[in-house]
C-alpha cells in the first residue's frame, strides 16, 4: 500500500500517516459559516482537503474513508442578516428568516464548490441539529471542573487545562498579549472562552440547564466531530487562521472531556490576490461566484489553487489564471476520445508526499508532452481535473458567422483603405477572449483564454 506522509501542525514535522482503523479513515474539516457567498479564500481549504480526500479514497478505497465537513448555521452574522430582512418587511418569524438565509447560503455554497470539482463530503452536519450534543458536552465539562457558569454564560476555564497551547506552541501569557480577548466581568480569566451564551427574545435560542441560549462557536465542532467520528479520529483540517483560537479551543474542550480527538492536524496557508492580502478596502475581494460569473471556469480556479503547496501562501493572479486556462484547453483537446487509465504512480507518489500538488501537476505536464492521453486523463482525475463533471466549458462555439462578417469588412477595407470598422470588430472579439487570425486565405476565429460568449451578443 502507498505510504502517505503528512505535515502535522501539532508535532511540527512531516510524519508517516498511520490511520487508527485502515478500514475507516476519518477526517474532519471546518466548513463555512453560512451567512454569505464563499470568497476565494474560503474555497482554498475546500480544494486542499478535497484533494486529500481523493488521495485517501484512492489508497484505502472509496468505502473506507469518512469525510465530515460541518456547516455553522448558528452565528451572529446570520442573525444580523435575517434581522435586516425582517426589518425590511420580509414575512415570517426571525427563526424562519434565519433558516431561510442559512438554506439559501448553503445552496450557494454547494453550487460554487461543485463548480470547483469538490466531491461532497460523507457527512455535512448543521450545528443547529447538534445542540443537544453540545449541551451534554458542556455539562460534562462543568462536572469535570473545566467549565463554570456565570450570569447565564458558561465558560471554559483555560487555567484548568495544563496542555492548553499545545497546538499553537505558545504559552498562555503570550496568547493573552497577542490575542484580542473579550473583556467581561463574568470571566475568571481573560483567556476563558464561551461555551454557552444567553439569547434574548430577538435571537434564536434553545433550552439548557443554564437558561435559554445558544452555543459558542468552538463547542460546535468538538461535539459534531465526536458524534460522527468518535473519541479518536485521524485528521482534522482547516485554514491556518483557525489554528488559534478555534482549533486550540476544540482540542482543549475535547481533551478535558476525555476524548483523544484528532491525531493529525493540517492547516492550509492564506490566499493573496496579485501579491496583496485580499480585502474589500483594496478592491481585490471577490467571491467564487464573482469569478464564475466573469467566465472563469471552476476547473481553472482549481488548477491555480493546486499550483501552490497547501502549506505556502497562495497568490491568485490573472497571469496564473490565463496560463491554467490555456493548459486545460490543450489537455482537454488532447484527451478527447481517450479512455482514462489508472493514475500514474508518479502522481500518486507526489500527492502521498504531503500533498505535493505542484509536483503532481508537473507529472501531468510530462504525460501531456509524451502524448499519453489515457494516463493524462486518469491521472488528472485524481487531482479533480479533466473530470466529466467539469467538462463543457471548452466546447468550441460556432464563430463562422462572425468570421464571415469580419472577412467582409476586411475585403471592403482593402478596397477603401479605411480599416476603422475592421479594427473595431477585431478589438471587440479580442475583448471577448477570441483569438483572431487573418491571412490572405481568410479569417479564422477560435475561443482563447478568457473566452466570454456573453460579450459577443452585441456583435451577433
DSSP string over 399-424:
-HHHHHHHHHHHHHHHHH---HHHHH
280 is in an annotated binding site: yes
3-state SS assignment for residue 209: coil
- In this chain, the answer to whether the domains covering 5-268 and 290-390 adopt an identical fold is no
pLDDT of residue 178: 45
3-state SS assignment for residue 235: strand
| Beta pairing, strands 276-277 & 434-439 | unpaired
Helix (H), strand (E), coil (C) string for 100-167: HHHHHHHHHHHHHHHHCCCCCCCECCEHHHHHHHHHHHHHHHHHCCCEEEECCEEEECHHHCCCCCCC
Rounded-to-integer distance, Cα 126 and Cα 53, Å:
21
Burial of 300 (0-12, 13-18, 19+ CB in 10 A): buried
123 is in an annotated binding site: no
Radius of gyration for the chain, computed over Cα atoms and rounded to the nearest angstrom: 26
pLDDT of residue 173: 61
Which one-letter DSSP state was computed for residue 5? Answer: E
User: Which helix or strand (DSSP H or E) is residue 172 part of?
Assistant: helix 172-178
Do residues 195 and 133 make contact, with C-beta atoms less than 8 angstroms apart? no
CATH class of 290-390: mainly alpha
Residue boundaries of the structural domains of the chain: 5-268, 290-390, 399-456
Three cell numbers, residue 362: 508537473
Rounded-to-integer distance, Cα 111 and Cα 101, Å:
16
pLDDT of residue 177: 46
Do residues 26 and 229 make contact, with C-beta atoms less than 8 angstroms apart? yes
Fold classification of 5-268 is Rossmann fold (3.40.50)
Three cell numbers, residue 126: 448543521
256 is in an annotated binding site: no
Number of residues in the chain: 460
The candidate with the shortest Cα–Cα distance to 71, out of 98, 95, 105, is: 105
* 247 Cβ contact list (under 8 Å, min separation 6): 30, 167, 236, 238, 265, 267
CA 244 to chain centre: 19
Terminal-residue alpha carbon distance, the chain: 57
* 402 Cβ contact list (under 8 Å, min separation 6): 429, 434, 445, 456, 459, 460
Three cell numbers, residue 2: 502507498
pLDDT, tens digit only, all 460 positions of the chain: 899 999 999 999 999 999 999 999 999 999 999 989 999 999 999 999 999 999 999 999 999 999 999 999 988 888 888 888 878 888 888 778 888 889 999 999 999 999 999 999 999 999 999 999 999 999 999 999 999 999 999 999 999 999 999 998 876 666 554 455 566 788 999 999 999 999 988 788 999 999 999 999 999 999 999 999 999 999 999 999 999 999 999 999 999 999 999 999 999 999 999 999 988 888 888 999 999 999 999 999 999 999 999 999 999 999 999 999 999 999 999 999 999 999 999 999 999 999 999 999 999 999 999 999 999 999 999 999 999 999 999 886 778 888 888 788 888 878 898 888 878 888 888 888 888 888 877 888 878 777 777 788 777 6
CA 347 to chain centre: 22
User: Which helix or strand (DSSP H or E) is residue 232 part of?
Assistant: strand 232-239
| Beta pairing, strands 276-277 & 271-273 | antiparallel
221 is in an annotated binding site: yes
Rounded-to-integer distance, Cα 45 and Cα 346, Å:
24
Amino acid at each position: 500500500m502507498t505510504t502517505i506522509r503528512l505535515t502535522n501542525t501539532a508535532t511540527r514535522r512531516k510524519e508517516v500517516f498511520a490511520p487508527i482503523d485502515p478500514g475507516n479513515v476519518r477526517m474532519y474539516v471546518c466548513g463555512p459559516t453560512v451567512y454569505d457567498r464563499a470568497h476565494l479564500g474560503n474555497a482554498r481549504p475546500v480544494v486542499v482537503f478535497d484533494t486529500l480526500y481523493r488521495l485517501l479514497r484512492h489508497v484505502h478505497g472509496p468505502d473506507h474513508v469518512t469525510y465530515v465537513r460541518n456547516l455553522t448555521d448558528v452565528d451572529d452574522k446570520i442573525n444580523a442578516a435575517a434581522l435586516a430582512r425582517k426589518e425590511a418587511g420580509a414575512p415570517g418569524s426571525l427563526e424562519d428568516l434565519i433558516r431561510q438565509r442559512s438554506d439559501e447560503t448553503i445552496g450557494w455554497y454547494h453550487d460554487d464548490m461543485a463548480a470547483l470539482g469538490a466531491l461532497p463530503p460523507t457527512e455535512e452536519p448543521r450545528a443547529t441539529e447538534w445542540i443537544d450534543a453540545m449541551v451534554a458536552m458542556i455539562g460534562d465539562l462543568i462536572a469535570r471542573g473545566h467549565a463554570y457558569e456565570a450570569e447565564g454564560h458558561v465558560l471554559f476555564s483555560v487555567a484548568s487545562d495544563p496542555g492548553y497551547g499545545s497546538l499553537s506552541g505558545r504559552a498562555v501569557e503570550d496568547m493573552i498579549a497577542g490575542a484580542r480577548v473579550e473583556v467581561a466581568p463574568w470571566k475568571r480569566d481573560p483567556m476563558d472562552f464561551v461555551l454557552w451564551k444567553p439569547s434574548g427574545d430577538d435571537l434564536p435560542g434553545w433550552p439548557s440547564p443554564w437558561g435559554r441560549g445558544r452555543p459558542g462557536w468552538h463547542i460546535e465542532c468538538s461535539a459534531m466531530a465526536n458524534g460522527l467520528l468518535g473519541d479518536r479520529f485521524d485528521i482534522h483540517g482547516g485554514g491556518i487562521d483557525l489554528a488559534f483560537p478555534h482549533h486550540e479551543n476544540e482540542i482543549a474542550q475535547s481533551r478535558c472531556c476525555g476524548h483523544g480527538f484528532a491525531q493529525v492536524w493540517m492547516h492550509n496557508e492564506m490566499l493573496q490576490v496579485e501579491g496583496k492580502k485580499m480585502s474589500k478596502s483594496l478592491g481585490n475581494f471577490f467571491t467564487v461566484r464573482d469569478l464564475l460569473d466573469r467566465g472563469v471556469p471552476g476547473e481553472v480556479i482549481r488548477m491555480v489553487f493546486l499550483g501552490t503547496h497547501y502549506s505556502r501562501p497562495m497568490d491568485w493572479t490573472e497571469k496564473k489564471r490565463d496560463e491554467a486556462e490555456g493548459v486545460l484547453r490543450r489537455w482537454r483537446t488532447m484527451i478527447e476520445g481517450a479512455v482514462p487509465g489508472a493514475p500514474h504512480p508518479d502522481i500518486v507518489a507526489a500527492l502521498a508526499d504531503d500533498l505535493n500538488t505542484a509536483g503532481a501537476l508537473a507529472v501531468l505536464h510530462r504525460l501531456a508532452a509524451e502524448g499519453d492521453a489515457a494516463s493524462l486523463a486518469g491521472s488528472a482525475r485524481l487531482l479533480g481535473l479533466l473530470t466529466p463533471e467539469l467538462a463543457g466549458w471548452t466546447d468550441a462555439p460556432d464563430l463562422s458567422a462572425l468570421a464571415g462578417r469580419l472577412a467582409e469588412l476586411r475585403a471592403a477595407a482593402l478596397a477603401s483603405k479605411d480599416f476603422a470598422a475592421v479594427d473595431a470588430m477585431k478589438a471587440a472579439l479580442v475583448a471577448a477572449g477570441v483569438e483572431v487570425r487573418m491571412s490572405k486565405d481568410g479569417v479564422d476565429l477560435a475561443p482563447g483564454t478568457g473566452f466570454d460568449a456573453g460579450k459577443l451578443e452585441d456583435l451577433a
